[in-house]
Structure 1
Amino acid sequence: MRHGVMPELSALLATMNAAPGQADPVNPLVPFGRIASLHVARFIVLEDPSLPDRLIAPTLPVHEPTRLAFIADFDGTPDGLIADLVAIAAPGLRRIFGHCADFRDDTDLLRWLHAHRIRSAATYVNWRGRSAAQVREEAALHDVLRTARLAHPRASPEQLMPILRAAGAAVTLNPVAAPPVAWRIGETAHFLLLPVAAIALAPLLLPSLPFLAILLRWRETRDPVIAPTPSRERNRTLSALEDHDITNQYSAIGSLKPGLFRRWLTIAILWVIDWGARHIFGKGRLARVNTIHFASWTFLDEGRRVLFASNYDGSREAYNDDFINKVAFGLNLSFSNGLGYPRTRWLILDGARHEQDFKRYLFHHQIPTQVWYKAMPGLSTYDMARNTRIRRGFENPPSGAALRRWIAEI
């Protein structure tokens, strides 16, 4: 970003909001509501409050550039989204990105956006293949069916079924497209990458595992913990951007511990996380946690820093507790290579189990999200999954006990 533009940029981004941090879908700069493929999106200034921590890691640069990031979760391809953004919001995007150091009045916006696109190292999608259009249609179906059910409180399930089918006929339900054959082949090939790589690398990795384990443990016992007491002022700033909807955003940035060992360990772990999210945890749950809509881990500055962004249901405190109580080992895998992280044992033990240190560490790295858009406000991951089940029952009516359970969900 250009020097000294932060006040002006912050004021400009604030004009996009209907509430603190909450984007107006029809704001004049980037009217997110006109982009049908979007699920969630955000503009965020990457001012890293943890950079002073690098005083304990003299091999890392003291300074990094302050960046402006646009992060989106959407249907279709990145090229398609970028084309839609330029077609719908080119003047507003020019005003926003005009604060960046290499953006000029005559810059080709489309080419600039492509050149500055960074692919995330790992991404998680709550339900792969469920489009924004499908979410909207199924929510509309649920609303119509619920209204019809409540209008006939004494009707039996068998009596209700024709009433519900008549009411639901008014809702357009486009067929859920089956994945193309080429996509399935690509997914199968990607699925096989992990086992094939494990077999191919086993002769090299197995003999070196004792050495790597000793090196890991040696570093774990010496890595300092940086978990300062939260600032009330920062907490007020972050809290003002939260709990406007059932879903919240979370953004955090931080440095990796120095050295190639931690760098390559992080690359390997995030690759496995991405593989697991793509092939194992794509139907409503990330391990035992079912409140996350989308999440991503992205390397910055030649791999020295990582940006984490997520969209989750509930409060920040409940979000943290959910992970600590259910998948603390996953938190350790994901974040323990970060500078200052609470000490782990053998990579997956302890760490996040030191609850207060862990929460202070998270707070230390969290940064405010200046603009956040959610296409379907009021809908949780549970709501979306329920609506999909309701649609299935509507299209293929159950009977008996299954019919009663289906109606109970409406």
Structure 2
Amino acid sequence: MAAQSQIFVAAPVRTGAVEALADLLETMNAGPGTADPANALLPFGRIPTIHVARFVILDDPSLPDRQQIARELPASEPLRLAFIANCDGSEDQLLRELVQLATPGLQQIFSHCSDFDARADLLAWLRAHRIIPAAIYANWPGRSMTQVREEAALHKTLRQAHLAHPKASPEQLRHVLLAAARSVPLTPLPAPTFAEKVAHMGDFLRLPLYAALLSPLLVPALPFLVLLLRWRETHDPVLAPVPSIARNKLLKSIEDRDVTNQYSTIGSLKPGRFRRWLTVAILWIIDWSGRHLFTTGRLGRVNTIHFASWTFLDDKRRVCFASNYDGSREAYNDDFINKVAFGLNLSFSNGLGYPQTNWLIFDGARREQDFKRYLFHHQIPTQVWYKAMPGLTTYDLARNTRIRQGLTANLTGSELRAWIAEI
């Protein structure tokens, strides 16, 4: 399995520099909502390991909520610029490639940050501003960009061969397709080493081990924690303002430029240690589940997400959520509400102003209009968004992998016809 990482680098923006920064980031785009792979500042297309990447100014529109319903929280927080990318290999490998390829452009971008010094070591500065996400989800961990590109080329080649032989029987067509496939180079998929298998199993056992170690403390405290949760649920205020038409137009202007969209949100957690540590625990379990349970293209019943992450900011007072998903924003929200509303409640209900839940997993997102207004209230525009393979959905990626697997399988009868039907 190919090693993969997500990198999240964030730094505070200098006072008065936001407008100039936004204008500079706009020069990286080929059009609204679409980064130019060959842009002069950071040519994403020259880094073959990147799947998706974005620059986003974390300008939190929900901060005024604190003055209404959470005065114990600070009235303001630093406004940051974040760079988020999902890649093959390690975070440090990507940072080194970025510095080697685009030092002048990165210096120009991050010069808008208050603590940036162009004379300092850029790699060290990026490392110092790296934040480890609390939870990461990948649609198919280990599917590298090399695999994605080669399997897309394979599908295209086989599709052309298929269309050129419309009257061939399935058996005849299979011989044609196998011959055509030999013209497409396919890098062997790496098998996990024994050490990697041991490490993966050790990581899997962490959850039951922690549960066993903490149970002497948690079991006696559980009735109190449940009552505290229920009291909080019935007393925490809900805030779901009517969406701004102007901001909705802004968000729509950078959406639906490809079959895949970006999604960036930021918001505050409800005050108090209870909500903070409940969020920490839930996101830790989500992160663990992304590595061990949801590894074959589906997050619960949802199969449209390429990558997603939750990242704490400001001593865990705020969370930034970033995702890359297929389809429209409305369909994305509806998909989650209809299929995994309980999961939305688990991962977001500790947010300030979230629709009221019952026993943590019920109601909440099921209050559809309040939930959608809550989401919109926290969504922010993504200034630069790059996707390495535009036009490919998660379904396309999975189909291309199945087609590749069919090359070496002994297919006959209905299995052969099903394989051909996917080409």
Q: Normalised by the size of structure 2, how large is the TM-score?
A: 0.96
Q: What aligned pairs does 1:288-367 form with structure 2 within 5 A after superposition? A: 288-367=301-380
- Aligned-residue CA RMSD in angstroms? 0.7
Gap runs ≥5 in structure 2: 1-12
Secondary structure at the residue paired with 1:221? helix
* Separation (CA, whole Å) in 1 of partners of 2:256 and 2:211: 43
1:126 and 1:293 in contact (8 A); partners too: yes
Cα contact 1:149–1:164 (8 A) shared by 2: yes
Which of the numbers 11, 21, 40 marks the counterpart of 2:33? Answer: 21
2:169 corresponds to which residue? Answer: 156
The alignment partner of 1:361 has SS state of helix
Counterpart CA distance in 1 for 2:192 and 2:131 is 26
In 1: Cα distance, 2:15 partner to 2:57 partner: 13
Q: Could you report, residue by residue, the CA deviation over 1:45-95 in whole angstroms, capped at 9, with x for unpaired residues?
A: 000000000012111100001000000011110010001111111111010
Q: 2:256 aligns with which of 243, 266, 291?
A: 243
Contact kept? 2:33, 2:257, Cα under 8 Å: no
- Given that 2:133 and 2:312 are in contact with CA atoms closer than 8 Å, whether structure 1 keeps it comes out as yes
Cα deviation, 1:354-378, whole Å, max 9, x if unaligned, reads 0000000000000000000000100
Please tell me whether residue 138 in structure 1 is matched to residue 151 in structure 2.
yes
Are 1:206 and 2:219 an aligned pair? yes
1:52, 1:145 → 2: CA distance? Answer: 55
After superposing on structure 2, the runs of 4+ consecutive aligned residues of structure 1 that deviate more than 4 Å are: none
Q: Deviations over 1:174-201 (max 9, x none)?
A: 0001123222221111100111111111
How many residue pairs align between the two structures? Answer: 410
Shift of 1:141: 0.2
| Greater mean alpha carbon deviation, residues 195-204 or residues 354-363 | 195-204
Q: State yes or no: 1:373 paired with 2:391.
A: no
How far the C-alpha of 1:105 sits from its partner, in A, is 2.1
Report the 3-state secondary structure (helix = DSSP H, G, I; strand = E; otherwise coil) of the residue aligned with 2:420: helix
Select the residue among 64, 74, 77 that pairs with 1:52.
64
What is the aligned partner in structure 2 of residue 279 from structure 1? 292
Q: 1:378, 1:397 → 2: CA distance?
A: 31
> Take 1:31 and 1:179, find their aligned partners in 2: how far apart are those partners?
32
Residue 207 of structure 1, CA deviation: 1.0
| Contact 1:191/1:275 (8 A) holds in 2 | yes
Aligned-partner Cα distance in 2 for 1:210–1:408: 55
Q: Counterparts of 1:178-189 in structure 2 under 5 Å?
A: 178-189=191-202
- Tell me how far apart the structure 1 counterparts of residues 198 and 26 of structure 2 sit (CA, whole Å): 44
C-alpha contact (below 8 Å) 1:33/1:375 kept by paired residues = yes
For the residue of structure 1 that corresponds to 2:216, the secondary structure is: helix
2-structure distance, mates of 1:20, 1:225? 34
Query: For each residue in 1:325-382, what CA deviation from the matched residue of structure 2 results, as whole angstroms up to 9, or x when unmatched?
Result: 0000000000000000000011000000000000000000000000000001000000
Residue identity opposite 1:32 in structure 2:
F
Counterpart amino acid of 2:404? R
Residue 191 in 1 paired to residue 204 in 2? Answer: yes
Q: Is the 8 A contact 1:14 1:21 kept in 2?
A: no
Residues 206-262 of structure 1, C-alpha deviations (whole Å, 9 max, x = no match) = 111110000000011011111000011000000011000000000000000000000
| Distance in 2 separating the partners of 1:184 and 1:367 | 39
Residue identity in the other structure for 2:21: L
Residue type of the alignment partner of 1:11: D
The amino acid that maps onto 2:34 is: Q
Q: Greater shift after overlay, 155-164 or 391-400?
A: 391-400
Query: Is 1:391 aligned with 2:404?
Result: yes
Task: Provide the rounded CA distance (Å) in 1 between the counterparts of 2:110 and 2:410.
Answer: 51
What residue identity is the alignment partner of 2:122? Answer: L
Q: What letter corresponds to residue 78 of structure 2 in structure 1? A: P
Q: State the distance in 2 between where 1:288 and 1:328 align.
A: 11
Q: CA deviation at 1:397?
A: 4.4
CA contact (8 A) 2:356 2:364 kept: yes
Matches within 5 A, 1:91-110: 91-110=104-123
The one-letter amino acid paired with 2:71 is P
Is 2:53 the counterpart of 1:71?
no
Task: Provide the identity percentage.
Answer: 68
Give 2:119's aligned amino acid.
D
Structure 2 counterpart SS, 1:88? helix
